[in-house]
Each structure stands twice: as structure tokens, then as C-alpha cells.
């Protein structure tokens, strides 16, 4: 419903979507979504996108590459995960991912599980180490909670490196509980003041 979609994107500080959304839409609906996002961006919303490549959801790797590249063209903050990008584009290292995406998007944060996240802003790379968790219970929702923490911090005016630290703390709290959700107060405490 293009009308409802456009209305939902009106006057938002941030618009956030994922490659999983692209994967489950028909080609025409995908176009409708990306047009609406482009319009919201032109009207002043910041756009964040997590490519979140899931091979089983796509007809072909080529189709995923094309759709995800189109989405990156309307993105201000890209939040990929290294193993996904490695599968989809054959990147050898997170540095390669950050460099490749940094040519398309102004702000990139490459997540990599328990390893450091790599930030690329205007050609400058900065690794931000993750929080060490001795015994992760369940990593479901790790990437999504990182994204939530990062974007909340950026909207609150924190710089990318500070936002990544907060995001790692939020994600570390989430991997220590079963399921994708931790209690809100736990997340708030991890995010910090």
C-alpha cells in the first residue's frame, strides 16, 4: 500500500529497514519501498539499512546483490555483518567490506560477532572492540540489538565510536539471555547515560 507506506515515513528522524524486508517482497513491492525511502530521505529523514543477507530467502545471489546495492544507494548509515557480506560479495576481511561500502554510504559499521566492529566514516576506519562475554547464551537478536543501540545513540547525538561502544554493551546484554529480547531496564542500563 504505497499510500500507507508514504504516510508512515512522513517526518521521521530515522527510517530503518533490512535486507530481510527486501528478500520477502516481490520485485514491484521492493521498488515501491525503495522509492518511498528515497522520498523520505529527500525530505530530510536519515536512512539506516542492515543488508542482513539470508541466502534461503532469495531466488539467486545476483538478485540479492542487485537489490541490496540499490538499497545502499538510498542509505546514510549501513549496518552490515561481516560473514553476511563475505557470503554475498566474497569480501576477504571486514576492512574490505568497510572499504567497499564506504564508497557507497557515508557511515558504515561492520559488525563481526565477538570481534571488533569496524566503523568507516568519510574514509576513516576505526575498530571498536566488542564486550567480552564469557558464556553467550543465545546470539539471536545480537545484530538487531546492536543496530538499535547504535541508532538510538546516534539520534541522541553521540559520535559513531561512542555509539558503537553503547551498541556493543546492549548486544552483549542480549546474548546473555535466551531469545531476542532482554528486559528493557537491562538494555537501558547497558546503553548508559
What is the binding site for ligand ADP (CB under 6 A)?
A: 81, 111-114, 117, 130-131, 133, 136, 139, 142-143, 146, 168, 171-172, 175
Q: What are phi and psi of 87, to 5 degrees?
A: -65, -45
Task: Report what 88 binds from Mg ion, ligand ADP, none; CB cut-off 5-8 Å by kind.
Answer: none
Contact between 191 and 183 under an 8 Å Cβ cutoff? The reply is no
50's grid cell: 542492515
Judged by CB under 5 A, the stretch of 80-88, 102-110, 155-163, 181-189 that binds Mg ion is 80-88
The rounded Cα 62 to chain-centroid distance in angstroms is 21
Q: Does 51 bind Mg ion (CB under 5 A)?
A: no
User: Is residue 84 flagged as an active site residue?
Assistant: no
DSSP one-letter string for 54-67: -GGGSS-HHHHHHH
Candidate residues 30, 40, 46, 52; the one interacting with Mg ion per rule CB under 5 A: 52
Which of the following is catalytic: 50, 84, 115, 144? 144
User: How many helices, marked H, and strands, marked E, lie in the chain?
Assistant: 9, 6
23's grid cell: 528478500
Candidate residues 45, 75, 81, 86; the one interacting with Mg ion per rule CB under 5 A: 81
Kindly tell me which of 46 and 168 has the beta carbon lying closer to ligand ADP: 168
Residue 192: CB partners within 8 Å, gap ≥ 6? 166, 169
Distance CA 155, CA 54 (A): 28
Going by C-alpha positions, the residue among 161, 163, 183, 170 that lies closest to residue 143 is 170
The residue nearest Mg ion at its CB is 143
Judged by CB under 5 A, the stretch of 22-30, 49-57, 61-69, 113-121 that binds Mg ion is 49-57
Task: Report what 133 binds from Mg ion, ligand ADP, none; CB cut-off 5-8 Å by kind.
Answer: ligand ADP
Q: Does 75 bind Mg ion (CB under 5 A)?
A: no
Positions marked active-site: 144
Which residues are at the interface with Mg ion (CB under 5 A)?
52, 81, 143
Amino acid at each position: 500500500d504505497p499510500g500507507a507506506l508514504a504516510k508512515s515515513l512522513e517526518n521521521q528522524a530515522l527510517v530503518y529497514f533490512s535486507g530481510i524486508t527486501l528478500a520477502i517482497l516481490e520485485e514491484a513491492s521492493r521498488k515501491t519501498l525503495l522509492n518511498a525511502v528515497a522520498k523520505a530521505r529527500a525530505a530530510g529523514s536519515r536512512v539506516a539499512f542492515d543488508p542482513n543477507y539470508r541466502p534461503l530467502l532469495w531466488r539467486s545471489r545476483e538478485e540479492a546483490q542487485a537489490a541490496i546495492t540499490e538499497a545502499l544507494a538510498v542509505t546514510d548509515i549501513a549496518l552490515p555483518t561481516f560473514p553476511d557480506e563475505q557470503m554475498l560479495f566474497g569480501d576477504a576481511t571486514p576492512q574490505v567490506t568497510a572499504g567497499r561500502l564506504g564508497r557507497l554510504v557515508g557511515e558504515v559499521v561492520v559488525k563481526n560477532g565477538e570481534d571488533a566492529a569496524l566503523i568507516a566514516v568519510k574514509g576513516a576506519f576505526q575498530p571498536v572492540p566488542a564486550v567480552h562475554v564469557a558464556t553467550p547464551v543465545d546470539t539471536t537478536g545480537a545484530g538487531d540489538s546492536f543496530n538499535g543501540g547504535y541508532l538510538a545513540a546516534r539520534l541522541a547525538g553521540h559520535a559513531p565510536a561512542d555509539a558503537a561502544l553503547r551498541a556493543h554493551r546492549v548486544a552483549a546484554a542480549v546474548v546473555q539471555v535466551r531469545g531476542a529480547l532482554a528486559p528493557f531496564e537491562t538494555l537501558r542500563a547497558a546503553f548508559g547515560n
